[in-house]
Chains A and B, each alone.
Chain A
Amino acid sequence: MNIPPVEPGTVGPCPVAPDALQGIKRQQTNPARWNGAGWQDFVAALRSAGVELTEGRAACGAYVTDAGGTAYGQPHGVVIAHSAGEVAALLRTAQAHRVPVTVRGGGLTTEGEAVAYGGVLLDMTGMSRVLAIDAAALTVRVEAGIYWHSLAEELRREKLDYLSAPLNLTSSVGGTLGVGGIDVNSARLGCSADQALSLQVVTPTGEIVECSDTENAELFQRVILGYGQFGVITEATLRIRRYTPLSMHYYYYSSLATAIEDLQMLDRNDASDYSGILTIMDCAVNLLVAFDSDEREAAFRRDWEARLRGHGEFGFALCMLGHYALRPWKAGEALYLLKRKQAVFPEFRRPEYMRDGKMHDRSVVFSRAVWKHWGSRNMVIPDLATPADRFVAAVERGNAVCRKFFPHYTLYCVGIKLRPEHRPHYEMSCVPPDAEGWAYGCEFEPMIEGEVYSRDHFQAFKNAIYDIGVDLGASYYRFGGMMKGYIRRVFGDALVDRHLAMKRKADPAMILNRDVIF
């Protein structure tokens, strides 16, 4: 097809012939926009209840999309949360007027879950303070809109740290507790949501309720990993720990399956404090292992390191040299690998974050690297979560899908230790129902590298990954947007209908985050 060049700032002729897309199955990416019925009455009622709502493009523009950058929508108005009382007033009024409310923390969803298609956008980052640190009991009470990074900033002044959080500085605590949260220490500590001891929740009908494993336990079970369906988390008490820098080790593999087997071996034997896999290419797989203490590191060196089948950086470089010397036609691949190494590796070794060979502030180092080298305006990251025994198959099949759709991509694999006492939280979540001991998650992230792909291309890619999940009886981390079509296929009608009945009971007008799951 000959597409004529178009001057910047002008709109050229549509290059797609009117019949070009016939026969291609279309799927709606954005949910339908709420029609705005009764909006003005709702706004008046809300303002008389003392809740500030802002409208207009300067207020709504910041929320037009999420980190995924493929789903777009605008709310009719924005409420920035300042207190649980204000959130309660908002939800009560929204129930009465049947106005949808979409809750947003860091906005790091990738399927449009944090995008409002009309109605109210409730921005929780207005509630982002540390309320109390108990250094003796090792707990912290926070407002739920706080970014993990902001929490880390305040904890570090007391030589403390959070237990586990997504490798992203702008994830919010409330958002993470609502979906799970995976860190490179999840194979040891469980998902980030497992560190929550108690929550203050505003129910969809506007009651402010404290809940925990022992108080209003049913609400606690539904809200943790509940994808925002059963309430808005306004405060959380979290377990924390003493801060320690960590020592990192990297092992390189040319086989994805071997690296995963070694990762699972380390996890089963509690051989490291942190573990995960990041791939650079199919033939260059990085197993990351890290430790909080010299003792744990020494034990690993003594008992487990020799069992790993990966190489150190130098040894792997020699292997690659041999590999490409015998395959000169793959020089482009070798060049990409080299460029990627030169760009990314220094990021993990910045001198201001290293002291005596140990990495300080790992979340900053990882998150900055993630945004700098993997981030883009479109972050398309379908994922699969499986029991341990099906993980290699899931990753290899997902990897083959990536290869089909994109020239370069990264896989991020990590284990999640399951806590038997938290099994009720895990129902209809990213944790596969039949997983025992550990679940394993893999994100498949194409490198966009400045290219422009159509949303159809992204969607076809995601569907191909998600189809693997259906086939293998897996689960998924990201449930919103395009994933909705998969929820019944994965979990079955009986479970989904049971949750839907609970949702209808808790949220009679179905106003809260209604485009995410049901």
Chain B
Amino acid sequence: MFAAAPLDHACCSGCSLCRLVCPMWRQHRDPRFSPEGLAKARQCGATAAELTAPLEACSLCGACDPVCPEGIDLYAMVMELRRDLSPALPYRQALDALQAKFALAAAAAEAPAAGAQFLPGPALRAHPVLLARVKALLGYACAADDGADIALALETGGEISPARRRRFLDRLSGRTLAVGDGLLLRQLRQWLPGARLQSLGEALASLTTIRRRLASTDFYVIEPRAYHADYERLVAYYDRLQVETGCALNLDLQRIAIPALRQALPRLAAPLADADATQARWMLQGRRPQRIVVESLADRAAFERVCDIPVLHLAELAQD
């Protein structure tokens, strides 16, 4: 008997269900820009270099994984291809420099105190007032080393040294963690299977002080990477949230979280452009919310660009 082969691109039957939820397919309307297109091209022998454009365009939202009826790990397929592509990226040097900067800061971090930890990520660190509010709300210590360099390496297909990974995980092992970066959270689920992990959105939305301030006129924007990484559980979680608060969610009919951003890899560190906000505009089409509540600061920037109603981070709901 042979061991069962893992489900990879070879198993793609071409049902196209992943296209329906893929933001890059929505933008390009070209099957090459979809997990199905990547899988089919791989079946025909295409290399990562031949697939550069879709690999750069993928926002790693992970929406494709829960809808794949074959159970193919499409996210892993894209990540693997990105790792293959990574050394040849023309902007690799800039990414490496940014990763090194984050790594330097992490190296200087002191060992954290015991207890639950909060890993904010660079976006939230750039907003000290909001960061302080989140810390106060959660009551968790803020990790000085939040793995920003590791999150960036995951996103860009960069390398993570085993020593760095070990040092990072050793400090987190056995703790309760709230993680601001959805991509890092997904990876931590694999690296720390025993840890109690929550996304920042889930951790905040579970607080009574925040939940009771959500209104039926709100449009609540779930951070898609963390949501799809734990889809089966979080579908039920956000369904309850919707029933309890009456707010509208950025879920499509398949209960997949529509990402507000479709920022491509080459523009990762660049300011948000009009084109990046097209998706947010489409999300609001046909909806008339009085307020938008986001779990991610990147989503706040996208919505602020396309509408003139208040756009609040979840933590800001507790401001008063």
Partners in one complex: yes
Q: What is the interface of chain A, defined by CB distance below 8 A to chain B?
A: 5, 8, 56-67, 69, 80, 106-107, 123, 125-128, 147, 149-150, 152-154, 156-158, 169-170, 351-352, 361, 363-364, 368, 371-372, 375-377
Interface residues of B (CB under 8 A from A): 2, 5, 11, 13-17, 19-20, 29-32, 36-37, 40-46, 50-51, 67, 69-70, 235-236, 239, 252-255, 285-287
Q: Measured between C-beta atoms, what is the minimum distance from A153 to chain B in Å?
A: 6
* Chain A positions within 8 Å of B286 at CB level: 154, 157-158
Given that A58-B51, A170-B19 are contacting pairs, would A375 and B13 also be in contact in the complex, using a CB cutoff of 8 Å? yes
| Cβ-Cβ contact count across A and B, 8 Å cutoff | 105
Known: A147-B20, A152-B253, A170-B20. A57 touches B50 (CB 8 A): yes
Interface centre among A69, A107, A149, by most B CB within 10 Å? A149
On whether A58 and B41 interact (CB within 8 A), knowing A149-B20, A170-B19, A377-B13, the answer reads yes
User: Could you say which residues of chain A place their CB within 8 Å of the CB of B19?
Assistant: 125, 147, 170
Q: Is there an interface contact between B5 and A376, defined as CB atoms closer than 8 Å?
A: no
Q: A80 to B30, Cβ gap below 8 A?
A: yes
- The distance from the CB of A204 to the nearest CB of chain B, in whole angstroms, is 24
A169 CB contacts on chain B under 8 angstroms: 17, 20, 254
A371 touches B29 (CB 8 A): no
A-B contact pairs, 12 of them (CB 8 A): A58-B32, A61-B40, A61-B44, A61-B46, A62-B14, A63-B40, A106-B16, A147-B19, A352-B235, A368-B67, A368-B69, A371-B15
Closest chain A residue, CB of each to CB of B15: A371
Q: Are B30's CB and A170's CB within 8 A? A: no
Apart from A62-B41, A65-B14, what 11 extra A-B contacts exist at CB < 8 Å? A8-B2, A58-B44, A58-B51, A62-B37, A63-B40, A64-B43, A170-B16, A170-B17, A352-B255, A368-B67, A375-B13
CB neighbours (8 Å) of A128 from chain B are: 29
- Known A-B contacts A62-B32, A64-B44, A371-B69; the reply to A157 vs B285 at CB < 8 A is yes
Q: Which residues of B contact A64 (CB under 8 A)?
A: 40, 43-44
Q: Nearest 8 CB-CB pairs, A to B? A: A157-B286, A61-B44, A371-B69, A170-B16, A57-B44, A62-B40, A62-B31, A61-B41
A154 to B285 CA separation, bound complex (whole angstroms):
8
Residue of A at shortest CB range from B37? A62
Query: B41 touching A57 by the CB < 8 A rule?
Result: yes
Rounded to whole angstroms, the CA-CA distance of A374 and B235 in the bound complex is 23
Complex Cα–Cα for A271 and B81 (A): 54
Check A67/B30 contact, CB under 8 A, given A153-B252, A352-B235.
Answer: no
> B31 contacts which chain A residues (CB < 8 A)?
62-63, 123, 125
On whether A376 and B13 interact (CB within 8 A), knowing A57-B41, A58-B41, the answer reads yes
A361-B44 in contact (CB<8A): no
- Min CB–CB distance A367 → chain B (angstroms): 8
Instruction: State the CA gap A66–B285 with chains docked (Å).
Output: 33
Nearest chain A CB to B80's CB is how many angstroms away? 17
Residues in B neighbouring A106, C-beta threshold 8 A: 16
Please name the residue on chain B nearest to A363 by beta carbon: B253
Chain B, Cβ-Cβ closest to A69: B13
A503 to B285, CA, bound (A): 42
Contact A352–B14 (Cβ < 8 Å):
no
CB distance from B234 to the nearest CB of A (A): 11
Alpha-carbon distance between A146 and B43 when the two chains are bound, in angstroms: 26
Chain A contacts for B44, CB-based, 8 A: 57-58, 60-61, 64
For residue A351, which residues in chain B have a CB less than 8 angstroms away from its CB? 236, 239
A158 contacts across to B, CB distance below 8 A: 286
A7: nearest residue on chain B (CB-CB)?
A: B2
Residue in A8, A126, A364 whose CB lies within 8 Å of B30: A126
When A8-B5, A375-B69 are in contact, do A361 and B253 touch as well, CB less than 8 Å? yes
Query: Given the complex of chains A and B, what is the CA–CA distance between A188 and B168 in angstroms?
Result: 62
Say whether, besides A61-B46, A375-B69, A126 and B254 are in contact (CB < 8 Å): no
- Chain B CB count within 10 A is highest, among A61, A125, A128, A150, for A61
Contact of A107 among B16, B239, B285 (CB under 8 A): B16
Which one of A125, A156, A158 has the greatest number of beta carbons of chain B within 10 Å?
Answer: A125
